[in-house]
Structure 1
Amino acid sequence: MTSLLEQFLLCKYKMKQPIMKQDMLKIIHPRYHDRFAEILKRASEHIEAVFAVDLKKVDSTIHSYGLVSKLNMLNNGRVWDGRGLPKTGLLMTVLGVIFVKGGCAAEEDI
């Protein structure tokens, strides 16, 4: 249940779109709507551990959220200022696989 919500949150983060509670409830089966807070907490904890982004409530009146990077990288993770592609995405993916595999991952897994 939480993995679908995690994918949804990361997709919204990548597209730089606001995350609305009503949209998240569409992802979760209606049978589990009463457990929304618990499911959201689990999903946000997993995303924080793997991708170093934190789920923050942006507006409590309309129930909107946003993901905020916890990494303060100079040049947005680029090797040279303003040039090249950010390197943090690949790094966080590799570290995430290692984390999920219990601290050790085979080359095939990565």
Structure 2
Amino acid sequence: MAFSQKSQSDKSFSRQDENGAGSSQDVQVPRSLQRVVLDDKIAKLVPILLFKYQQKELITKEEMLHNVDEDYKELFPQIFREACKCMRLGCGIDVREIDPPGHIYALIPVLGLTYHGMLGDEEIIPKIDLLIVILTVIFMKGNRASEEDMWQVMTVREMLPQWKRFLVWEPWKFITEDLVQKQYVKYHQVPNSDPARYEFLWGPRAHAETSKMKILQHLAMICRRDPRSYTHLYEEALREEQAHV
């Protein structure tokens, strides 16, 4: 998702809607800007949804539309649909309508992760995305991942266009210090390794808030696969689920 602030082009798009169609060139301008406008509005709506999730509050369509901008009421269904997709795939949170007549929505934690202590800054989306990826990689690597595994994750992420502006927050420090402090991740030296090697494991907070099955189902949804197609991972996640019954 591209994150861009409201600009003069945004205003031009709104003004063009109000004035109606002009010359053929005038008509083409708002079309070319529509993706930029949509991304801008989605970027405004997602943090609001995350804040509501953290505060355990409901949100109404009216409130969302007010924050997006009443001028874009006709585009709101698309903005809302893509924001919900971002919340589901990127944050593991479902936006569910619980009162259709009142257009009232609840934020449901599909993964169970609370993100308490992480919300409130402009880098929250890539941070949440990275946390989910890290927990997934650790699980897929036999419940422990090496530093090399994490550097590979970072290399792939840094190639994504939407990540480039967020690299100022030092992802490696976020992984090895912030997530460790928040107890989502353990980061320690491999016993008896010489020269010293370090590895990552799920922290107590990750075990308390989510499960291997939830992480696997999330991965399968993103990859459009049946969780059972990851045979060994599914069997391990299922054993964990049965052990906690």
State which of 89, 92, 101 in structure 2 corresponds to 1:52.
Answer: 92
> How do 1:11-30 residues align onto structure 2 when only pairs under 5 Å count?
11-30=51-70
Tell whether the 8 Å contact from 1:18 to 1:65 is kept in structure 2 after alignment.
yes
Unpaired runs of 5+ residues, structure 1, are 78-87
Separation in structure 2 between the aligned mates of residue 16 and residue 102 of structure 1, nearest angstrom: 35
Q: For residues 103 and 95 of structure 1, do their structure 2 counterparts lie closer, same or farther at Cα, with a shift above 3 Å needed?
A: farther
Report the aligned-residue RMSD. Answer: 2.9
Separation in structure 2 between the aligned mates of residue 47 and residue 5 of structure 1, nearest angstrom: 10
Shift of 1:48: 1.1
Query: 1:104 corresponds to which letter in structure 2?
Result: R
Which secondary structure does the structure 1 equivalent of 2:102 belong to?
A: coil
Separation in structure 1 between the aligned mates of residue 57 and residue 127 of structure 2, nearest angstrom: 25
| Corresponding position of 2:170 | 108
State which of 118, 129, 137 in structure 2 corresponds to 1:96.
Answer: 129
Shift of 1:103: 4.4
Q: Which has the higher helix share?
A: 2
Separation in structure 1 between the aligned mates of residue 156 and residue 84 of structure 2, nearest angstrom: 20
Shift of 1:42: 0.6
Separation in structure 2 between the aligned mates of residue 52 and residue 28 of structure 1, nearest angstrom: 22
- Structure ranking higher on relative contact order (CA contacts 8 Å, 6+ apart): 1
TM-score, normalised relative to structure 1: 0.70
Separation in structure 1 between the aligned mates of residue 128 and residue 102 of structure 2, nearest angstrom: 34
Separation in structure 2 between the aligned mates of residue 102 and residue 50 of structure 1, nearest angstrom: 18
| Corresponding position of 2:80 | 40
Q: For residues 32 and 16 of structure 1, do their structure 2 counterparts lie closer, same or farther at Cα, with a shift above 3 Å needed?
A: same
- How many correspondences in the alignment? 94
Q: For residues 57 and 103 of structure 1, do their structure 2 counterparts lie closer, same or farther at Cα, with a shift above 3 Å needed?
A: farther
Tell whether the 8 Å contact from 1:51 to 1:93 is kept in structure 2 after alignment.
no
Separation in structure 1 between the aligned mates of residue 96 and residue 105 of structure 2, nearest angstrom: 6
